[in-house]
Structure 1
């Protein structure tokens, strides 16, 4: 990064803009990325949080402290802009924030550390999913999968070795997430080390990310959960030849779900709202600034996507590079206030 760009991008607004990127990622960026026809967009979006944290570490003198503060602001904005998010999503973001603050205590080796942290957080996401399934349905879920695997190997007349189907399934699941995390981490690492340059934002911005959306019939997550639970119970009853065990597994899942939604969730939400209110009051100006910039960020996304479409190759990397340069350059062209309470505190 040359000295002209350093004057532009290492200022107070860089962290503010990157926090807006992070907040947008946590409150609905996945729908926009479908335009690139990316498989498993949810996995990709989950890895992007590491990119924003790494860039925040690059553009601040106090990486760990700034990541913790920006992360707290993202959690507050997530509650305000995406209140339907499940508590497990907040837990996952909280773990990412703590790991980011730990990994980015200093600014050396940002690229390699970004790669490692991306793979680690993606794998932790996979582990979280397996733990939740085990808590809800118990070991009988994996036992029924093992029985199915044994039946398949028996029908193959000894062509396949006797295997633990559940172990293979979990191993493949983790392997897929590790590979996805590695690919996303390589992209993140390249972007963190990229030499950003000033890019004049378009004079007229139009947000088309939320327009032209076809209305879709949305099915409640509760319906999907109920269908999945019934399918799992049916598989347990059939393959283990014990419907009593299957229905006890269903009762276990219903009991845990009821305790979560009726007891633990209200307590957690009440505690989070009290903490959130404190943060909203303490960083009112910064939250307002970030929230106001998110629509501009969406419009800049549209412009960056146009540039990426015209690129001969590396369209995804070009998209993120252009989008970041537009956003980081925006206030050079459209001057605003000289920072906020949060930015002054972290300079």
Structure 2
């Protein structure tokens, strides 16, 4: 394949935007509880491929990042601030690594590990800010209760063990993602360059999830977490005032969530959008081009999934991803 290909970079940018905006691209095919890991892995795959094709890696990744964020802002206006932070971190890390190191081998693994760990640590930080140390105390209480029941005792606290396992899973997933990306790039690089044509029968207007869906999910998660903490302190804790601590967590978390979503979150999002709106005029042609490609790419992805049905398991997943990207890169309208 010819490197330094502007068309390929533009199409990879569109694929990255499709992946980040929740518009039914690759994630329309997969129905899995590991959606976050797959979305994160695909994002760093697109960043790595942009670096593979680009001469000026930092400039190309930065431009792609801005275009992706503008599209995300346009089609997923209710995305939380954390989503923008995660995408920005991926892009910034890609710029840092690919500007200083080769896109091969260890750089891809480092990108995978650091990106996945950032995602995991962001979640842990948010939980701690909202629920305080009481969340981890509640987990420790549950852990002690379970140990007594099964008559097994470990030196480490339940929360420390849980966090270690959680971070280890994300770290190992990052290593796997890095190695997987290397294999995908190799497949794409070895494919013959052929224009890909596909008749698009249905160019539906792109729609993202509604704000109501996100709010409902947030409320259910909050209720479940608070219930677990309250029950822990009330029924399993040794303190006489366990239920009071549970009530404290209830009101504390509610106030923090309200303050975040009413004051801090909207303020930071407004600043982010103001910055992106300034950049929008500079990249309006790139944004329009990417938006035009999204409906085509959704159908190419579905077509490629059917095309790889003769393969099974991991092989199907690998060649589906590689062939989908290759088909999108070589797509001719």
Which residue number in structure 2 is paired with residue 214 of structure 1?
A: none
Question: For the residues of structure 2 that align with 1:218 and 1:261, how far apart are their CA atoms?
Answer: 15
Which residue number in structure 1 is paired with residue 159 of structure 2?
A: 166
Question: For the residues of structure 1 that align with 2:77 and 2:230, how far apart are their CA atoms?
Answer: 33
2:192 counterpart (187, 193, 197): 197
1:237 counterpart (198, 210, 233): 233
Change (3 A) 1:170 1:207: farther
2:7 counterpart (1, 4, 13): 13
**Is residue 135 from structure 1 mapped to residue 136 from structure 2 by the alignment?**
no
Which residue number in structure 2 is paired with residue 287 of structure 1?
A: 287
- Post-superposition Cα deviations, 1:182-225, rounded to whole Å, max 9, x if no partner, equal 222221121123323224424423469999xxxxx968224313
Q: CA deviation at 1:237?
A: 2.6
Equivalent pair of 2:19/2:26 in contact (CA under 8 Å): no
**Is residue 221 from structure 1 mapped to residue 222 from structure 2 by the alignment?**
no
Question: For the residues of structure 2 that align with 1:31 and 1:321, how far apart are their CA atoms?
Answer: 14
Matches within 5 A, 1:23-42: 23-28=17-22, 32-33=26-27, 35-36=29-30, 38-42=32-36
Question: For the residues of structure 2 that align with 1:210 and 1:119, how far apart are their CA atoms?
Answer: 36
Change (3 A) 1:244 1:80: same
- Post-superposition Cα deviations, 1:237-261, rounded to whole Å, max 9, x if no partner, equal 3233411111112222122112212
Which residue number in structure 1 is paired with residue 258 of structure 2?
A: 258
Q: CA deviation at 1:144?
A: 1.6
Mind listing any 5+ residue stretches in structure 1 that lack a counterpart?
A: 212-216, 335-347
Aligned residues: 320
1:186 counterpart (175, 179, 191): 179
**Is residue 52 from structure 1 mapped to residue 53 from structure 2 by the alignment?**
no
Question: For the residues of structure 1 that align with 2:25 and 2:329, how far apart are their CA atoms?
Answer: 23
- Post-superposition Cα deviations, 1:280-302, rounded to whole Å, max 9, x if no partner, equal 11111111001101111111111
Q: Does 66-75 or 28-37 show the bigger shift?
A: 28-37
Question: For the residues of structure 2 that align with 1:285 and 1:31, how far apart are their CA atoms?
Answer: 22
- 1:309 aligns to what SS in structure 2? coil
Which residue number in structure 1 is paired with residue 209 of structure 2?
A: none
Mind listing any 5+ residue stretches in structure 2 that lack a counterpart?
A: 207-211
Question: CA RMSD for the aligned pairs?
Answer: 2.5
Which residue number in structure 1 is paired with residue 326 of structure 2?
A: 325
- Post-superposition Cα deviations, 1:85-130, rounded to whole Å, max 9, x if no partner, equal 1111111111111111000105624243112211211111111111
